[in-house]
């Protein structure tokens, strides 16, 4: 199987889908000609598909998002890019007030099959105006689907599903994961949106996580395994729709739940998972549900401060041990 990065997996998904369906176009700042010359999510697409289908845009996030909304209702399949998650806020009117609601407002008559790709994540020393995980904001907007892959293989299959989905899908890619390789099947495949994946089976405690934090969960699980604690890792992959069944089944099996995410704590999506367990698996819980998250601060620049921000395996191990 090919070993490629998440960035390259995104690139393959875009390329294969664009070859398959002429209605798909991409747009964003530097998606054609970029300041980065290495292999990236959109590199080579301008060369293959030309400027009609690969649109470099001005620095105009509201315009980029609106372009997708308008083009999609006319039957095109836009895949637009918002460079970093904080800049999504400028596009938010078009995405939250329009993409998410216009179908509802049409009484189900119109559809908006668009994808917004957003890069996210701390760990690159860029500070809080580039690094800010806002997935919970997006998940809080009915009408949007929200996908956040952790592996290259998931990214490729989920992006294909996102492009083929008839609803607005927000596809959030961690920027550090962009450079991390993993095995990806060569053939055409999709991974359904709304289906979580048990990345590691276990019996004593369930860790629910997504995106880059999956790696942290694996590191902690490896160490705990040696101490006789068996961790089951559930990678949500999609926040909306949420795969409640997989989460609940795992919690019923282990009786313990820790939610791990890189985003800040208050109002984070981890609260949603905790509430799910409290509402629907209370009887199965042997211990309180814990959240391991970033503290409620903007992402700081300085290395020791950014390291402090990032929830790590020691934090997760400490939380898990409190449950026994």
Partner 1 sequence: MDNQEKKKLLRMMLLIRRFEEKLVALSKDPQKFGGMMIVCTGQEAVAAGAGAALLPEDVIVTNHRSHGHLLAKGAEPDLIMAEIFGRRTGYNKGKSGTLHIAAPEVNALCTTTVVGGGIPIAMGTAFAAQYMNKDYVTVCFFGNGASDEGSFHEALNMASLWNLPVIFVCENNVYSGAQRQEEHTKVKDIADRAVAYAMRGEVVDGNDALAVYEAVQRAREECLSGAGPVLIECKTYRWGGHGTADMQLYQPQEEIAGWKEKCPIKKLQADLQQAGVLTEQEFQQMESDVEQIVEQAVRFAEASPWPEPAEALEDVYV
Ligand X SMILES: Cc1ncc(C[n+]2csc(CCOP(=O)(O)OP(=O)(O)O)c2C)c(N)n1
Residues lying near partner 1 in the complex (CB under 8 A) are found at 29-30, 33-37, 56-63, 86-87, 90, 124-130, 295-298, 300-305, 307-309
- Work out what residue 195 binds among partner 1, ligand X, none; the CB cut-off runs from 5 to 8 Å by kind: none
Task: Tell the burial category of 38 from Cβ atoms under 10 Å away from its Cβ (0-12, 13-18, 19+).
Answer: exposed
Least distance from ligand X to the Cβ atom of residue 86, Å: 8
Least distance from partner 1 to the Cβ atom of residue 123, Å: 9
CA atoms of 36 and 51, how far apart (whole Å): 18
Nearer to partner 1, 33 or 275 (CB): 33
Question: Degrees (nearest 5) of the Cα angle 220, 226, 227?
Answer: 90
Nearer to ligand X, 127 or 181 (CB): 127
187 is catalytic: no
Nearer to ligand X, 33 or 278 (CB): 33
According to DSSP, the β-strands at 54-56 and 115-120 are: unpaired
Closest C-alpha to 231, from 246, 220, 245: 220
Q: Which residue is nearest to ligand X (CB)?
A: 87
Closest C-alpha to 196, from 145, 151, 247, 250: 247
Element (H, E) at 247: helix 244-254
Interface with ligand X by CB under 6 A: which residues?
Answer: 29, 59, 61, 83, 87, 90
Binning the chain into helix, strand and coil, the percentages to the nearest 5 are 40, 20, 40
Least distance from partner 1 to the Cβ atom of residue 308, Å: 4
Least distance from partner 1 to the Cβ atom of residue 103, Å: 25
130 is catalytic: yes
Nearer to ligand X, 42 or 254 (CB): 42
Residues with a known catalytic role: 61, 130
């Amino acid at each position: 199987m090919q070993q490629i990065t998440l960035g390259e997996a995104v690139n393959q998904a875009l390329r294969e889908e664009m070859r398959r369906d002429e209605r798909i176009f991409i747009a964003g700042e530097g998606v054609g000609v970029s300041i980065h010359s290495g292999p990236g999510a959109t590199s080579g697409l301008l060369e293959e598909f030309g400027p009609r289908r690969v649109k470099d845009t001005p620095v105009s996030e509201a315009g980029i998002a609106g372009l997708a909304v308008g083009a999609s209702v006319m039957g095109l399949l836009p895949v637009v890019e918002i460079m970093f998650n904080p800049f999504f806020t400028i596009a938010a009117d078009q995405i939250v007030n329009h993409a998410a609601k216009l179908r509802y407002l049409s009484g189900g008559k119109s559809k908006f099959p668009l994808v917004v790709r957003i890069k996210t994540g701390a760990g690159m020393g860029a500070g809080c105006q580039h690094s800010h995980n806002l997935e919970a904001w997006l998940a809080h907007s009915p009408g949007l689907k929200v996908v956040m892959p952790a592996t290259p293989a998931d990214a490729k299959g989920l992006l294909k599903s996102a492009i083929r989905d008839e609803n607005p899908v927000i596809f959030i890619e961690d920027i550090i994961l962009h450079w991390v390789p993993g095995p990806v099947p060569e053939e055409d495949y999709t991974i359904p949106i709304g289906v979580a994946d048990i990345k590691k089976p276990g019996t004593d405690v369930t860790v629910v996580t997504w995106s880059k934090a999956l790696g942290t969960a694996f590191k902690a699980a490896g160490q705990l395994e040696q101490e006789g604690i068996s961790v089951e890792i559930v990678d949500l992959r999609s926040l909306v729709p949420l795969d409640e069944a997989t989460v609940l089944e795992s919690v019923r099996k282990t009786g313990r739940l820790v939610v791990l995410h890189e985003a800040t704590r208050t109002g984070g999506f981890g609260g949603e998972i905790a509430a799910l367990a409290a509402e629907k698996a209370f009887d199965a819980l042997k211990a309180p549900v814990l959240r391991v998250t970033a503290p409620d601060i903007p992402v700081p620049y300085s290395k020791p401060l950014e390291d402090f921000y990032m929830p790590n395996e020691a934090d997760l191990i400490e939380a898990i041990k409190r449950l026994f």
